């Protein structure tokens, strides 16, 4: 059974159909990428999976359970985490506080405004462990706004990891990063994928081809190709959609 199985998924915004009979299967342990030109429906697909948007048609099964219609927080508690295309951090709080809030929200009964956070050393230890995993342990006491752009993207990923995801959705994690920062992010994604299944949206085609186990290609809301990188790269419809950029990107 696939960890995530999407069938016949459709999403309309008025008369515009943004997702049109989309299908996708993500196996446990995979690094599965979603690619496509701007406006293909990739981020809308993530928003539907996470419950921020309701589909007009279709099913989304996570570990065999149809999650369509569930609230975002219930979907997160089932084990789907997400990082965002736009940084989703509290800039005035420290790096540690950003992660600790996410850890605290994940654990039922732990968000008590009358209880000192210092009394919950387990939350701090877990948060520091996550920061160590993503390479931000030495920045724990820094205000989030003082981090570099690349480090802020990494912090956003740490916050997503704080939800203990079984499946992690990453929306363009290398967007805006310099080449050296991009390489660090790729290595981090590979490291995380050793323990967590990843569904990735990314525009950097060479990166996608090098790290993905499987790729689903969207174009104008439809799946035009789905398979291993070597097959997708040779697909005529994919090459047409990218106007040859699949070779030069």
pTM of the model: 0.89
DSSP-assigned letters across all residues of the chain: --SEEEEEEEEEETTEEEEEEEEEEE-TT-EEEEE-STTSSHHHHHHHHTTSS--SEEEEEETTEE-TT--HHHHHHHTEEEE-SS----TTSBHHHHHHHHHHHHSTT---TTS-GGG-HHHHHHHHHHHHHHT-GGGTTSBGGGS-HHHHHHHHHHHHHTT--SEEEEE-TTTT--HHHHHHHHHHHHHHTTTSEEEEE-S-HHHHHHH-SEEEEEETTEEEEEE-HHHHHH-HHHHHHTTTHHHH-
Q: What is the pLDDT of residues 111-157, one digit of tens each?
A: 554 455 566 788 999 999 999 999 999 999 999 999 999 999 999 99
Q: What is the pLDDT of residues 225-241, one digit of tens each?
A: 999 999 999 999 888 88
Intra-chain end-to-end CA distance of the chain, in Å? 34
The per-residue pLDDT for 117 is 58
Q: Residue 249 is encoded by which pair of tokens? A: 């990107």
Which of 27-41, 78-92, 176-190 shows the lowest mean pLDDT across its residues?
78-92
Can you give the residue ranges of every domain in the chain?
1-79+167-184+194-249, 88-164
Answer yes or no: is pLDDT of 110 > 60.
no
The domain 1-79+167-184+194-249 is classified under which CATH number: 3.30.200.20, 3.40.50.300, 3.30.450.20, 3.65.10.10? 3.40.50.300
């Amino acid at each position: 059974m696939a960890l995530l199985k999407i069938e016949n998924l459709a999403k309309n915004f008025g008369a515009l159909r943004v997702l049109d009979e989309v299908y996708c299967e993500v196996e446990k342990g995979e690094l599965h990428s979603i690619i496509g030109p701007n406006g293909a429906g990739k981020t809308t697909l993530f928003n539907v999976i996470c419950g921020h948007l309701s589909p007009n048609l279709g099913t989304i099964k996570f570990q065999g359970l149809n999650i369509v219609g569930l609230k975002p927080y219930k979907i997160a508690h089932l084990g789907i985490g997400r990082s965002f295309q736009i940084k989703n951090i509290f800039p005035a709080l420290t790096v540690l506080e950003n992660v600790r809030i996410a850890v605290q929200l994940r654990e039922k009964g732990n968000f008590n405004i009358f209880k000192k956070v210092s009394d919950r050393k387990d939350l701090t230890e877990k948060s520091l462990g996550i920061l160590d995993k993503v390479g931000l342990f030495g920045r724990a006491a820094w205000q989030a706004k003082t981090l570099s752009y690349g480090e802020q993207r990494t912090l956003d990923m740490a916050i997503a990891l704080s939800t203990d995801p079984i499946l992690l959705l990453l929306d363009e994690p290398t967007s805006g990063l310099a080449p050296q920062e991009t390489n660090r992010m790729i290595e981090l994604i590979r490291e995380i994928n050793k323990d967590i299944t990843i569904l990735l949206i990314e525009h950097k085609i060479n990166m996608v081809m090098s790290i993905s186990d499987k790729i689903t290609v969207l174009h104008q809301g439809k799946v035009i190709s789905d398979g291993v990188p070597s097959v997708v790269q040779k697909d005529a419809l994919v090459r047409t959609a990218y106007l040859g950029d699949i070779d030069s990107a």
